[in-house]
A = this chain, B = another copy of it.
């Protein structure tokens, strides 16, 4: 099933587009992204990934048998991505040891709070929201230009397959609060792209 056919996506309304389209991504694909915007995004996405791993680990701690394998593979993928960010940062002489931007901090405050207080089924909807919107945002771009490597990474068949599994797990573990939390994720995604673009 394509991501955009998932009930959580269909019922998100205009939030879905707001969370997956951004002047930042357009400029990145067009090859005219200001370097400081790219650096801001790179560092904040790295900072975000650290807390996302905490979220994913706490979700795994609550997950039933059937979810564990894909969630562990997701943790391994996120860890590889972290190393990949670090090697880019070294090459580009970007310092990754910086505090989170308030927008990034709000997003991770939301994620970690939910990880501790919400049941597994809500957390699956949240993780699907994080990853599905990211996939959609990057997949809409042409795989070319100076950032082709980045575009390819998050529009790859491998990443799409992971997102499809998350969508399936979220679908198989419904919860009345799932849509509300999925929508909150989309709001945070929208703000994150805005922050990357505007500072």
Chain A residues engaging chain B, CB cutoff 8 angstroms: 50, 53-54, 57-58, 60-62, 65, 68-69, 72-73, 75-76, 79, 82, 102, 105-106, 108-110, 112-113, 115-117, 187
A190–B75 CA distance with the chains assembled, in angstroms: 33
User: When the two chains form their complex, are residues B58 and A69 in contact, meaning their CB atoms are under 8 A apart?
Assistant: no
User: By DSSP majority rule, is chain A's interface helix, strand, loop, or mixed?
Assistant: helix
Nearest chain-B residue to A112 (Cβ)? Answer: B113
Complex: how many Å from CA A62 to CA B55? 10
* A184 (CB) vs chain B CBs: closest residue: B105
Find out whether the CB atom of B57 lies under 8 angstroms from the CB atom of A82. Answer: no
Residue in B closest to A50 when the chains form the complex, CB atoms: B65
Residues of B within 8 A of A102 (CB): 187
User: Which of B60, B109, B112, B113 lies in contact with A57, CB distance below 8 A?
Assistant: B60
